[in-house]
Structure 1
Amino acid sequence: MIQFNLFYFFHLRPMLPWYYTIDMEENTIFGQNQSNQQIFGAVPPQQPQENQTGIIQPSVQDTTQANTVGAPPPPQPPLETPSESQQNNQGNSFPFVKTILKIFLGLIVVGTLFFLFYIFVLPRFINNKNEKVTITYWSLWEDQKVIQPIISDFQKQNPNITVNFVKQDSKKYRERLDTRIRNGTGPDIFRFHNTWYPMLSSFLAPLPSDVITAKDFKSSFYAVTQKDLVKNGAIYGIPLEIDTLALYINTDIFQAAGINPPATWEEFINDARMITVKDEKGKIKTAGVAMGAYSNVVHAPDIISLLFAQNGVNPNNISANSQKAAETLDFYIAFAQGDGNIWDKTQDSSTLAFSRGNLGMYFGYSWDYFTIKAMNPNLKFKIVAVPQLPDQSKNIASYWVEGVSGKSKHQKEAMLFLKFLTNKESAEKIYTETSKTRDYGEPYARVDLADSLKDNSNISPFLLQARSATSSFFVDATNDDGINSKCNTYLENAVGSILDNGSSETAVQTLSKGISQVLSEYGQ
């Protein structure tokens, strides 16, 4: 249809006689008034002015008469404007020409719009619907064989999305994650520690309600996750696991002493003293517990965080309760001071000492179980809740979270995978797959799955404590070289200064100032 009109306009139009005109008083073309202008014709060529044989030159009176309608064409075109009746007659000579022109212009507009839609809009719609997308998922602890069944199930439901699983090395992980995301080569979905929000806030994407609502998040996960992952009403991550600091007991040592695991700090102190063994020179051979020092006490910052929490000290604002903070540090350090010490700086790493049977009590997380078993498969031990002050229950949590990069080009697909990865069925499948290669999987992050593990004595203590857990920037084993490491350095200096007979009050003042500087650096 368009080709026909183009042919008509460019080839047929010039064939019309020159004297056909269109009254343009009613028409405007391309934004300009075309009245008093002839469209399809031109002024006829003028006759030569010189005299010719056989032709009588008209007088002035004859010339006037010759200019009437129907007279032969004059040598000069008429100067006056045609009368209104003439214009109307001319404009109505071929009304179908005006109609065809309007139709033609309308077709041009419609055709142009269709062309633009076909070239630019329709392909994008089709491509978005059928586009093959690959998202990259950075994890830390699980092998691919554990997560792959989840990925396979997800890809079956979403055939246009491929999940590229990458298990990262924990060393320098946080810095690598930060650098890669900022330069545009980072993952779409990744794992991060529950205390890292201040360092990652600039590129963590808030989760939309179609991934998880605030109501569902609050009812499905432990309260500590609200503190760590909900900021200004937005949720920034979903945990796959939860972990709390618990107490490992060497059952052979306790049975030999005829004592039970302690439930209070008073019982804890008495038990630690009772099972500590020293040689004739006062050197510790079997330590009751690894506390008091710092560098050789695995999870020392976590233990102090636990004591702070139970004594009402806010680790983010130590100066608000500096007296209790000083008392807490004095309590901790007393285990490594004086002739009645239970631990000292000369001892092996606490994990190594416990695995060798030279330590009665050890503070650790659920994953320490596998480290100890790897060091000594024959060691007999049990896991119990940490001691508490009377009439309270306060614990410390450290766990890892899955989040989506705000810099990702495929946020929609990453959000879909995060929702699938963290649902109840996937959590159960991950636990089952993990349990195929070791004694148990990671403790469930979901509250609605806790009861399924209540009879597992190796994992139930961690989950029972999660209900009353809080978190702290004083936490070990994150390898962050950031907020955790910097806070821990100030804490280690405070412990060291008191061990060197410094004042705990002075140590707390220095610690408080240092922590304030670190938190300020990360916008806290």
Structure 2
Amino acid sequence: MSNFKRASLIFLLAFLALPLAGFGCKQGDLEALRQLKEPVVLQWWGVFDDTDSLKDIIASYRALHPNVAIEYRKLRFEEYEQALLKGWAEGKGPDILFIHNTWVGAYEPRLTPLPPALTLPQLIDPQKGVEKSAAEFRETRTLTAQDIKNNFVPPVRDDVVRNNAVYGLPLSVDTVVLFYNRQLLDQAKLTSPPATWSEVKDAVKALTIQNTDGALLQSGINLGGSANNNRAPDLLSLLMLQTGTTMVNPEGRATFNERLSLDGQAFSPGADALRFYTDFARPTKEVYTWNADLPEAQELFAAGRLGLFLGYAYQLPYLRAQGPKVDIGVAPVPHLNTDATDAGRKQVNFANYWIAAVAKQAENPAVAWDFVLFATRPEQATAYLDRVKRPPALRSLIPRYQNDPDLAPFTAQLFTAQTWYRGKQPAGMDAAFRAMIDAAVDGTRTPEDAVGFGAEQVNQTL
């Protein structure tokens, strides 16, 4: 074949290939456009938030993605986990779900971790709308473990990242504070809420009122019991962390029962924390202020019969609604030292929050994760936080809420808030901590024996 014919053949083949190449590119655009026209429904389940709390975020996302509908379902806490398992077993479970920060280890096998990047269809000219604009697939980088550390307050990195994979993102992070009844403190001639645990003991003595039979008419603080103190394991964990207790070792074994040595003296900070906590429920102690006959702590405070209440921001609306006559003050949680530090001269606070995660069974995991990322951006998180009155999870939003009359005490504690890994059966840990408290209160075990037994029980769940 002559050089001229060979060149002509190559040119002809190249020319014929052009329409095919163009057709392939156009098909890719058509597929992106087809997906944008295809309705997508995301089922989102939660416990404490209602639809009104999340409607701004959902509406904003739908404005950008008209083909995506997000249907939110609120369930009762008591039925939530069973409903999740039943829903997934029947193929009717949620695509997105709220899980507690202590549940990540338990739910990890049922979740889809955040991929390094998301590839989703996008309109080239959104102003023209889906009927007139061309479309294309775009790849967007998501968040790494380091991004989580940089963008969110400290506890989040420790909770949502496992084996360098991100399993969820929070809209808010709550911390334990000290609510106080101004009228009761005035009656007890207390000029200010206690700032240290030593001051708490003195305040409790002044606030506690018993009748001639020894029954508690008014209590000082919700420390001492377990059954009628909903967040008892959190409060004991806070005290343990503040006293320098190592809750788990790097291998994930519970170590809150271990003894330490200081100036040649052996001691157990975990047992000391348990002893301090349970003294408030022992009638022989000067600080006796709690027993199993009292109503639940939150209800007792709302009824005006509890001077100091250790609780969270999410409880404030309930306290105000149920106790309209109670003049509620909010103060930072007490610490060991007068400079607001704890063991090792470091301040320790305690975090409690919920995480938006994507289920492994989600039909459209990329879209679900795109929505979660969207929902936790500053502008969307702000709309949510302003509506529900809770402290932020994003570092960048802390200045916005640090002077808020209600949220300032919670927000100020975020940088020093901690949690600890609860294993694959967090409910088992909760039960073990309540059993430790009960055993120490009724005297069936010493605090040292109780934390030792508790650590054994927790290790069975870790």
Distance 1:490 1:393 in 2: 26
Distance 1:355 1:505 in 2: 35
Kindly report the root-mean-square deviation, in angstroms, between the aligned alpha carbons of the 2 structures.
2.7
How do residues 430-445 of structure 1 correspond to structure 2 at under 5 angstroms? Answer: 430-434=384-388, 441-445=389-393
Q: Provide the residue aligned with 1:505 in structure 2.
A: 448
Distance 1:242 1:447 in 2: 11
Q: Provide the residue aligned with 2:155 in structure 1.
A: 224
Q: Provide the residue aligned with 2:309 in structure 1.
A: 362
Task: Tell me, yes or no, if the aligned pair for 2:229 and 2:296 is still in contact at 8 Å.
Answer: yes
Instruction: Name the aligned partner's letter for residue 415 of structure 2.
Output: R
Q: Provide the residue aligned with 1:204 in structure 2.
A: 111
Q: Provide the residue aligned with 1:483 in structure 2.
A: 425
Task: From the superposition, tell whether residues 423 and 310 of structure 1 become closer, same or farther in structure 2 (CA, over 3 Å).
Answer: same
Q: Provide the residue aligned with 1:283 in structure 2.
A: 215
Task: Tell me, yes or no, if the aligned pair for 1:404 and 1:415 is still in contact at 8 Å.
Answer: yes
Instruction: Name the aligned partner's letter for residue 226 of structure 1.
Output: R
Q: Which has the higher strand share?
A: 2
Q: 1:270 aligns with which of 187, 202, 218?
A: 202
Task: Tell me, yes or no, if the aligned pair for 1:211 and 1:415 is still in contact at 8 Å.
Answer: no
Task: Tell me, yes or no, if the aligned pair for 1:181 and 1:405 is still in contact at 8 Å.
Answer: no
Q: Provide the residue aligned with 2:189 in structure 1.
A: 258
Moved more, 389-398 or 501-510: 501-510
User: By how many angstroms is 1:511 displaced?
Assistant: 0.8
1:471 is the counterpart of 2:419? yes
Identity score, percent: 26
Q: Provide the residue aligned with 1:515 in structure 2.
A: 458
Moved more, 344-353 or 325-334: 344-353
Distance 1:142 1:320 in 2: 36
Q: How many residues align?
A: 395
User: By how many angstroms is 1:474 displaced?
Assistant: 7.2
Task: From the superposition, tell whether residues 338 and 431 of structure 1 become closer, same or farther in structure 2 (CA, over 3 Å).
Answer: closer
Q: Provide the residue aligned with 1:334 in structure 2.
A: 279
Distance 2:98 2:353 in 1: 10
1:243 is the counterpart of 2:174? yes
1:186 is the counterpart of 2:93? yes
Q: Which runs of 5+ in 1 are unaligned?
A: 1-105, 435-440, 476-481, 520-524
Distance 2:277 2:422 in 1: 15
Q: 2:53 aligns with which of 141, 146, 152?
A: 146
Task: From the superposition, tell whether residues 182 and 286 of structure 1 become closer, same or farther in structure 2 (CA, over 3 Å).
Answer: same
Task: From the superposition, tell whether residues 470 and 125 of structure 1 become closer, same or farther in structure 2 (CA, over 3 Å).
Answer: closer
1:411 is the counterpart of 2:365? yes
Q: Provide the residue aligned with 2:245 in structure 1.
A: 313
Instruction: Name the aligned partner's letter for residue 420 of structure 1.
Output: F
Distance 2:145 2:434 in 1: 38
SS at match of 2:175: coil
Moved more, 316-325 or 452-461: 316-325
User: By how many angstroms is 1:338 displaced?
Assistant: 3.2
Distance 1:133 1:421 in 2: 17
Distance 2:290 2:31 in 1: 68
How do residues 371-386 of structure 1 correspond to structure 2 at under 5 angstroms? Answer: 371-386=318-333
Task: Tell me, yes or no, if the aligned pair for 2:194 and 2:203 is still in contact at 8 Å.
Answer: yes
Distance 1:350 1:474 in 2: 24
Task: Tell me, yes or no, if the aligned pair for 2:103 and 2:422 is still in contact at 8 Å.
Answer: no
User: By how many angstroms is 1:379 displaced?
Assistant: 0.8
User: By how many angstroms is 1:454 displaced?
Assistant: 2.0
User: By how many angstroms is 1:193 displaced?
Assistant: 0.6
Higher RCO, Cα 8 Å, sep 6+? 2
Summarize deviations over 1:258-290 as a string: whole Å, max 9, x none: 321111111111111122122233322221112
SS at match of 2:460: helix
Distance 2:384 2:222 in 1: 33
SS at match of 1:313: coil
Q: 2:44 aligns with which of 137, 142, 158?
A: 137
Moved more, 125-134 or 274-283: 125-134
> Greater Rg, structure 1 or structure 2?
1
Task: From the superposition, tell whether residues 474 and 284 of structure 1 become closer, same or farther in structure 2 (CA, over 3 Å).
Answer: farther
Distance 2:218 2:257 in 1: 39
Summarize deviations over 1:287-346 as a string: whole Å, max 9, x none: 111211221223111110101111122334236625222222111111111332222222
Task: Tell me, yes or no, if the aligned pair for 2:220 and 2:308 is still in contact at 8 Å.
Answer: yes
Task: Tell me, yes or no, if the aligned pair for 2:304 and 2:323 is still in contact at 8 Å.
Answer: no
Distance 2:439 2:55 in 1: 49
SS at match of 1:196: helix
Task: Tell me, yes or no, if the aligned pair for 1:178 and 1:200 is still in contact at 8 Å.
Answer: no
Task: From the superposition, tell whether residues 349 and 231 of structure 1 become closer, same or farther in structure 2 (CA, over 3 Å).
Answer: same
Task: From the superposition, tell whether residues 145 and 491 of structure 1 become closer, same or farther in structure 2 (CA, over 3 Å).
Answer: closer
Distance 1:483 1:218 in 2: 26
Q: Which runs of 5+ in 2 are unaligned?
A: 1-12, 117-140, 249-253, 260-267, 338-344
TM-score (norm 1): 0.70
Distance 1:422 1:138 in 2: 16
SS at match of 1:428: helix
SS at match of 1:172: helix
User: By how many angstroms is 1:231 displaced?
Assistant: 1.4
